[in-house]
């Protein structure tokens, strides 16, 4: 059994990691830290874990994270960049679910996250944790930057098209919608049910941190400049992200786009290209690690549209982190992740 630690486990990505790891079979969570809740059994804070995980939150000082094979940082942005290097120096592997190591360009990172990076030397050494693109790097990485939630849905919906000469890379639109758990377990008025319930709205319309993160990958893959408008919305539900992606066509595609997607993802365990005419529902991936996509060409016009759905806490966070862990520790990639979405 590999030994696993979780730093900052009181949030939603933390509990989701525990839900998945408790049934993984090849790992044991030996430490989960929280300054605020130190001493409290995790199943008091999260009763859904009762009977599945017997563990208490501990302070970072009390937890011997260096004895772990791998440590997840489920912390706010800016924590892993401070604390991960000491673990990495001792040979511990790290998956950061926050944004500290996602952006290669330190200036861009500082602009969006409002901090100077505390461990810039590790930024270039981190693998970007999108297995569909960087599986080999992840396998051999000591540090993995787990992608953002909107980012995962949008990027997987766009990857097969990147670099195709017949699309217009300059005017892409990602209209993305997220359930409220994406905002985390923070006591904030706008995320109250009385505020977010039975209503729908945009947020961060002037610019959102996930835009440069998506862009970084699209540019890397297409090897050309990319223009991307990204607009997030808040959906009155708990879990789920749907990204509707608009790709203007420069020319008639010389290939069958449906087949292009199916071929591209043929061997991927966690990307499901749905049949033509499907409407991916966020509930169909609730609780599991799948990204489901469907491709449309409305009225046969000059715009290609992709709808991509994930569970923001699974493929958009903890599930993808476990997928990365499996790669890093040599487990089968889908171990502990073969769950079926709840419907209804």
- Segment 75-94, which members bind its own copies (CB under 8 A)? none
Return the residue of 75, 164, 216, 282 that touches its own copies, per CB under 8 A.
Answer: 282
114 interacts with its own copies by CB under 8 A:
no
Active-site pick, 15, 63, 103, 149:
149
d(CA 282, CA 79): 31
Smallest distance from its own copies to CB 86, Å? 31
- According to DSSP, the β-strands at 303-310 and 241-248 are antiparallel
Tell me how far, at minimum, the Cβ of 58 lies from its own copies, in Å.
Answer: 21
Query: Least separation, in Å, of the C-beta of 288 and its own copies?
Result: 8
| Contacting range for its own copies; rule: CB under 8 A; set: 69-77, 130-138, 305-313, 325-333 | 305-313
Helix/strand/coil for 3: strand
- Could you say which DSSP state residue 329 is in? H
- Is 149 an active-site residue? yes
| Ordered DSSP codes for 19-85 | HHHTTTSSEEEEEEE-TTTTTSBHHHH-GGGTTT---BEE-TTTS-GGG-SEEEE-S-TTSHHHHHH
Q: Does position 307 bind its own copies by CB under 8 A?
A: yes
The dihedral sign for the CA sequence 218, 303, 308, 133: negative
By the rule CB under 8 A, 255 interacts with its own copies: no
Interacting residue with its own copies among 36, 47, 91, 114 (CB under 8 A): 47
Q: How far is the CB of 337 from its own copies (least distance, A)?
A: 12
When the beta carbons of 60 and 236 are compared against its own copies, the nearer one is 236
Q: Assess 233 for contact with its own copies (CB under 8 A).
A: yes
Which residue from 309, 220, 315, 316 is spatially nearest to 269, judged by alpha carbons? 315
Residues numbered 178-207 forming contacts with its own copies, rule: CB under 8 A: 179-181, 183, 185-189, 191-203, 205-207
For residue 331, count other CB atoms closer than 10 A to its CB. Answer: 19
**Rule CB under 8 A: is residue 220 a binding residue for its own copies?**
no
Query: Rule CB under 8 A: which of 146-175 touch its own copies?
Result: 171, 173, 175
CA separation, residue 52 to residues 7, 31, 46, 49, 342 (Å): 19, 15, 11, 5, 20
Distance of alpha carbon 224 from the chain centroid: 24
Q: Does 97 bind its own copies (CB under 8 A)?
A: no
Output 110 or 142, the one with its CB closest to its own copies: 110
CA distances from 116 to 22, 107, 108, 112, 202 (A): 36, 9, 11, 11, 29
Please report whether residue 284 would count as binding its own copies according to CB under 8 A. yes
337 interacts with its own copies by CB under 8 A: no
Establish if 26 lies at the interface with its own copies (CB under 8 A). Answer: no
How many residues of this chain interact with its own copies, rule: CB under 8 A?
91
Residues known to be catalytic: 149
């Amino acid at each position: 059994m590999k030994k696993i630690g979780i730093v900052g486990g009181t949030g939603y990505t933390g509990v989701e990691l525990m839900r998945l790891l408790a049934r993984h079979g090849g790992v044991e969570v030996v430490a989960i830290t929280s300054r605020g809740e130190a001493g409290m059994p995790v199943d008091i804070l999260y009763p859904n874990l009762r009977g599945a995980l017997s563990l208490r939150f501990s302070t970072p000082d009390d937890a011997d994270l260096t004895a772990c094979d791998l440590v997840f940082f489920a912390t706010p942005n800016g924590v892993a960049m401070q604390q991960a290097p000491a673990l990495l120096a001792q040979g511990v592997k790290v998956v950061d679910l926050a944004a500290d190591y996602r952006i290669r360009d330190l200036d861009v990172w500082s602009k969006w996250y409002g901090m100077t990076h505390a461990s810039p030397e590790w930024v270039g050494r981190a693998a970007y944790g999108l297995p569909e693109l960087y599986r080999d790097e992840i396998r051999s990485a000591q540090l993995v930057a787990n992608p953002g939630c909107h980012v995962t849905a949008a990027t997987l919906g766009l990857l097969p098209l990147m670099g195709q000469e017949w699309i217009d890379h300059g005017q892409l639109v990602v209209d993305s919608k997220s359930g409220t758990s994406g905002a985390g377990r923070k006591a904030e008025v706008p995320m109250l049910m009385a505020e977010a319930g039975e209503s729908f709205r945009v947020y961060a319309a002037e610019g959102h941190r996930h835009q440069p993160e998506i862009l970084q990958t699209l540019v890397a893959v297409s090897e050309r400049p990319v223009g991307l408008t990204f607009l997030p919305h808040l959906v009155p539900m708990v879990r789920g992200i749907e990204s509707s992606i608009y790709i203007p066509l420069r020319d008639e595609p010389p290939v069958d786009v449906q087949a292009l997607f199916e071929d591209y993802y043929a061997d991927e365990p966690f990307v499901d290209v749905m049949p033509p005419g499907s409407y991916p529902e966020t509930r169909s991936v609730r609780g599991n690690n799948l990204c489901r996509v469907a491709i449309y060409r409305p009225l046969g016009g000059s715009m290609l549209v992709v709808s991509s759905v994930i569970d923001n806490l699974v493929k958009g966070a903890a599930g993808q982190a476990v997928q990365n862990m499996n790669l890093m520790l040599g487990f089968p990639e889908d171990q502990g992740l073969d769950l079926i979405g709840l419907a209804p």
